[in-house]
Amino acid sequence: MSDQFETTIHDIAKKLNISASTVSRALKNNPIISEATRKLINDTAEEMGYRPNTLAANFRTKRTNTIGVIVPLINRHFFSSVISGIEEVAYKKGFTVTISQSNDLLEKESKIAQTLFANRVDGVIISIAMETTNFDHLKLFTSKNIPIVFFDRVVDEIKSHKIVVDDFGGAYRATRHLAEMGSKRIAHIGGPLNLNIYKNRQAGYLKALSDLGLNNDESLVINNNLTREQGIDAVQKLLNLSEKPDAIFCANDTTAQSVIFHLKNNGYKVPDDIAVVGFSNEPFSEMVTPSISTVMQPGFLIGIKSADLLIEQILNKQKEIEFQTIVLPTDLIIRESSVRHK
């Protein structure tokens, strides 16, 4: 019941009448140790039930082989996909992943950062909270030369690797697609513009409109936090316009779904009366009726790339690094909610 005795490298050394350093080297497969002694040591270690004390090693080396991940909310498909990708890479490379959620609150994000810092994570992967506009808590890491990789919601002010998706291009193609389906008055329900992702989606939408020669009517653009309730409010506002839209490009799928729901409830046909495109390709979007056209973001791949870049940086800390911003492609997935039958 009580914690047992633990064998250390010293115990092994004593038993074999060799030094602890040799044991230490042998166990880490240091090539300087002869094959014979290595084998002897490994066998004895196993026989004695030796288990390395990671805590001691971490303490000694000042490294933890741990990477910290901060996301707004674990329980969101996009983020859990990213985490899944991070975890996969990290696991393969012998890193442990510590995950925290900011709940989109700056204060919590800041506390988490301090905890991770105190726990000496070797690096951080983060998508910042909606609230976050001050980045002092992240400068903790950069000031100590601890690498950060941003994804999705990135911070321009901090020099680091960044992984984003082509929000602009995705939004641009979505908007053009709506036009190609015969829409003339294309509305947009967007997110908070302090976040680049939403700014870029909106920019893509606007650029498409101007390229298409459609006049940009400001009453057709509504920005909110993209919740289900706000989606309903927004679409109702659009329906109250004297000139209603004939298409709506929503900056996420949740909004698209609530928009479609509200339209159907009010006797509008989707896509025939009003076509809808969302963003993110949440799992539900292909399952609902009508299935939702949307823009796919490769969450799992983002996770893979983020972890790859971070770990590379951790392992090559001395090197001067040229920071890159990787833009992963988005894909327009055309489904029922935007394809007119007439």
Partner DNA sequence: TTGTATGCGTTATCAC
Partner DNA sequence: GTGATAACGCATACAA
Positions in the binding site for a second copy (CB under 8 A): 1-4, 51-56, 58-59, 62, 64, 66, 73-77, 80-81, 83-84, 87-88, 91, 96-101, 108, 112, 115, 117-120, 143-145, 257, 283-284, 287-289, 300
**Interacting stretch for DNA, rule CB under 7 A, among 10-18, 94-102, 192-200, 254-262?**
10-18
Closest CA to 163 of 293, 330, 41, 19: 330
Q: Which of 1, 4, 60, 144 binds DNA (CB under 7 A)?
A: 60
Q: For strand 294-296 and strand 331-333, is the pairing parallel, antiparallel, or unpaired?
A: antiparallel
Q: Which two tokens mark 40? A: 């002897």
Task: Tell me how far apart the 2 most distant CA atoms of the chain are, in Å.
Answer: 92
Paired with 102 in beta bridges are none
The one-letter amino acid code at 113 reads: A
Q: Does position 262 bind DNA by CB under 7 A? A: no
283 binds, among a second copy, DNA, none (CB under 5 to 8 A by kind): a second copy
Task: Between 6 and 229, name the residue whose CB sits nearer to DNA.
Answer: 6
**Interacting stretch for DNA, rule CB under 7 A, among 58-66, 127-135, 189-197, 264-272?**
58-66
Q: For residues 277 and 332, give the distance between their C-alpha atoms in angstroms, rounded to a whole number.
A: 9
Q: Does position 32 bind DNA by CB under 7 A? A: yes
Q: Does position 24 bind DNA by CB under 7 A? A: yes
Q: Does position 19 bind DNA by CB under 7 A? A: yes
The one-letter amino acid code at 159 reads: K
Q: Does position 27 bind DNA by CB under 7 A? A: yes
**Interacting stretch for DNA, rule CB under 7 A, among 14-22, 195-203, 251-259, 298-306?**
14-22
Q: For residues 108 and 137, give the distance between their C-alpha atoms in angstroms, rounded to a whole number.
A: 11
Q: Which of 15, 42, 53, 340 binds DNA (CB under 7 A)?
A: 53
Q: Which of 2, 4, 29, 36 binds DNA (CB under 7 A)?
A: 36
How many CA atoms lie within 13 Å of 133's alpha carbon, on the beta-carbon side?
5
Residue that has been written with the tokens 């601890």 in this structure: 146
**Three-state DSSP class for residue 195:** coil
Q: Which two tokens mark 190? A: 């967007």
Q: Which two tokens mark 198? A: 């939403």
**Three-state DSSP class for residue 19:** coil
Residue 103 Cβ vs DNA, minimum distance, rounded to whole Å? 29
Q: Which two tokens mark 63? A: 């490294």
**Interacting stretch for DNA, rule CB under 7 A, among 27-35, 93-101, 119-127, 278-286?**
27-35
The one-letter amino acid code at 170 reads: G
Q: For residues 330 and 206, give the distance between their C-alpha atoms in angstroms, rounded to a whole number.
A: 18
18 binds, among DNA, a second copy, none (CB under 5 to 8 A by kind): DNA
List contacts with DNA (CB under 7 A).
Answer: 6, 8-10, 17-22, 24-25, 27-28, 32-34, 36-38, 52-53, 56-57, 59-61
